[in-house]
A and B are shown apart, each in its own frame.
Chain A
Amino acid sequence: MKNPSEIRNKHKREEIYQKLKAEKARKQIEERKRRKKLEEENPELREERLKNNVPKTIDNTKEYQEAIVEDDEEVFADEDSDEFAAFFTGGQPPKICVTTSMRPSADLHIFAKEFASLFPTAEVRKRGTFDIKDIAKFCTNREFTDLVIIHEDKKQDGPNAVIFIHLPDGPTAYFKLSNVRLSKEIQGHGRATPHLPEVILNNFNTRLGHTIGRFFASMFPPVPEFMGRQVVTFHNQRDFIFVRRHRYMFENKEKVELQELGPQFTLKLKWLQRGTFDTRFGDYEFSFSQKMETSRRKFFL
């Protein structure tokens, strides 16, 4: 059979090619029917077929990262004495101050309030014209443990960055913010209650990921109220952190339903700096730049 691309007549070429495609599709359907019949009799065949045909995705062909933490005594000991030790080993309850960039639009302020509702012990304050460094100092004096600043560039674009500063001299993390949706924009959303949520941190595998995961975990009260059935999820996939809040409900032992509450957004870590906010003279533990992107399969969190 001549390769249809060698046929000069366009109409004829189309016709032949469509015929070839239809034939291929028919063969595929027949093959599937045959396989289904065989596998109904012998389910092991199906298992074997699935086992041998795992599709390659970026997630399961990730480049080996030396920084990935597995069960490691040294890392745990290191973590026990890092900046979040006061929360994890000392049991210090979190107290968060949420504020915005200067001259916020009304929408930004609304989002700030919703963002603060995610964290049970957070409060929103107006920014005024204070410098971030000064605000960090004031918050430390008032015994806050974290300062969060939600930043927008242009009013019509909405918030595009969020800075988490752990106090008194904890690290500063700057995230790019995207895909922000308020609760009223979510179909079928529920209304959050004041119950303390459970926290789920997914896929924070590397040492840097551990630090960020601990950062998020230290912003929630350690003991959740299970009666509230609320859960806040920080799901890391390919260095994007998806933040969602749900209420779960067990229909029966096997089946659980989820209803989404509250805001949803996506974060991507831009840089992590040691010490409180000091972009001029501080030391960076991680600072993303295009030069780091050497491969599509390399991730840092």
Chain B
Amino acid sequence: MASATIRGREAVLVARANGVVDVWDHARVNSEEDEGPGPLLASVAAFVVPSGASIVDAREWVKVVDVDALDDTTIMAVNALGTLAAITLDPAPCTHRSSTTTAITQVAGRVQTVELGKDIHRVRPCAPHHRHLLAVGGNERDLHLVDLNAPKSQEADKKEEHLYTGLAKPSAWTGDVRHTVVWRARNVPFDSVGLRVPVWITDVRFLNTTGTAMATCTAYHEVKFYDTTKQRRPTSVIHVGDQPLRSLTVLPPTSRSDLLVSDSKGAVYRISPTQALAHARKAARAAGDPDHPRNKSIARRSGKPMAARSAIAGAYKGAQGAVRQVLAATMPDGTDVVCAVGLDRFVRVWDAKSHAVRARWFVKQRLEAAVVWRTPIEGGDAHAQPQVEEEEEEEEEVGDEVWDELDALERRQLGDDDHDEEDTFEELAVSAEPTKKRKDRRAEGDGDEDNVDVQRAPVKKKAVPKKLKKPARK
């Protein structure tokens, strides 16, 4: 899933396990009108199985791994075999209100494809200015940056130490898809017994807007930080827990831009590089001085290694199953919240600072993805707010509502377009008071279900969509 602006309208991109990508207009989803254009802007069959493929191959072919928007009219989708498809949407009128998800399967405008290679788990564009710069990683596919604009001559040589210094000015995608790797990461040195350390990237995030700082989380319970201006190896590696990490996100600057990682058993950790630095500085100051209180503990004196937990700044407890997506958002009252969705069929929201549970909803389906929405749904003028995208203010999100995409993982049958029961959109208005939790559920093609009137949070001026995504899987 991803939130993006398509043709001037705030939209949510949803990728499904059968290769279809839907673009839903958020502002229209809950409007009560029966007439007029429906909320589904477009539904594109991003991947079509070539004839003669075996059943197993066909499943891999349509399994969408990642989806995002490249510019105002183009979406990109990557499938499990590593094909990136950039699809330009038709300026066709939107669908009628009553149509269900895959009623219109248009392969519109232009579709360009590029092969990124197999076993890719995450392709993330550098939002919001450099969408043509993609961070790519996967199983035994170490992190590399792909620039869709750059000509071949700029490709990073595998053997050379290539320092990529980032894109200074905001740039847009030129319209041609080119597979040019501008920067490749190097693996960490061999471990203490001389073995190569395996690589399995499950999530990537850009930590700045110029595309030079990234963080990845791996299935080997590591969080790695990269700085392309400094070196190709990770600048630091933090081991978190002992389960594979599933998703990574960045907290807003009000929470010191810490990271959140989630693992496959329901733990959500907060990683603080600044805290780690502070600890390291303190340790360095105390080093060599046997009388310093820091060095007086028995563990230290007996030469035992101190637990390397200085980077982990706490956890958010409660999730019982694998957390497939963890998100950060800022409430209208300025507090930061952490939201996790996962296989235990709950949506949980914690206060970022106090770690207290703000809200918890049982949503009856295993969840794959969630997206934080900026503007609340109101009439139709939500999109009238100008998209102010200035670099400093980029991180000042004002998340008012959380959208969940309830993805039916079980939908494996190819070409099964009948999702009527399974696709349920739920809007959760997380209001400032934790006691008010009301749900507004809208089933597919059936707007008559219990549409409780949800109390909307007040509209804020700036609406910068942040991209958080995760498409359908298995």
- Chain A residues within 8 Å of B, Cβ to Cβ: 66-67, 72-75, 77-78, 80-83, 85, 169, 207, 274-275, 280-287, 291-292
Contacts and interface: CB of A to CB of B under 8 A. Distances in A.
A291 B315 CA distance: 13
A286 B265 CA distance: 8
A223 to B, nearest CB: 25
Nearest to A282: B264
A78 B322 contact: no
A198 to B, nearest CB: 28
Given A74-B421, A74-B424, A85-B410, A285 B362 contact: no
10 smallest beta-carbon distances between A and B, as pairs:
A77-B421, A283-B322, A66-B362, A81-B410, A285-B343, A285-B321, A283-B264, A287-B265, A284-B265, A82-B410
Contacts of B410: 81-83, 85
Contacts of B360: 66
6 contacts: A66-B360, A74-B443, A207-B364, A280-B244, A283-B322, A285-B321
Contact of B264 (A77, A81, A284): A284
Interface of A, secondary structure class, is mixed
A169 B17 CA distance: 15
Contact of B244 (A275, A281, A286): A281
A76 to B, nearest CB: 8
B411 interface: yes
A67 B362 contact: yes
A56 B391 CA distance: 62
B59 to A, nearest CB: 10
Contact of A286 (B344, B361, B411): B344
A283 B321 contact: yes
Nearest to A283: B322
Find the residue from A78, A169, A207, A281 having the highest chain B CB count within 10 A. Answer: A78
Nearest to A69: B364
A74 B406 CA distance: 12
Chain B residues touching A, range? 20 to 34
Interface of B: 200, 219, 244, 246, 264-266, 317, 320-322, 324, 343-346, 360-362, 364-366, 408-411, 421-422, 424, 443, 474
Find the residue from A85, A284, A286, A291 having the highest chain B CB count within 10 A. Answer: A284
Interface of B, secondary structure class, is loop
Nearest to A78: B365
Contacts of A81: 408, 410-411, 422
A284 B322 contact: yes
Given A73-B421, A77-B421, A285 B264 contact: no
Contacts of B264: 281-284
Contacts of A169: 474
Given A284-B321, A286-B321, A287-B321, 12 more contacts: A66-B346, A67-B345, A74-B365, A77-B421, A81-B411, A207-B364, A274-B474, A280-B244, A281-B200, A283-B264, A284-B265, A285-B322
B266 A287 contact: yes
A292 B408 contact: no
A285 B367 CA distance: 11
Find the residue from B322, B361, B411, B474 having the highest chain A CB count within 10 A. Answer: B322
A93 B175 CA distance: 53
A203 B259 CA distance: 41
Contacts of A85: 410
Nearest to A77: B421
A89 to B, nearest CB: 11
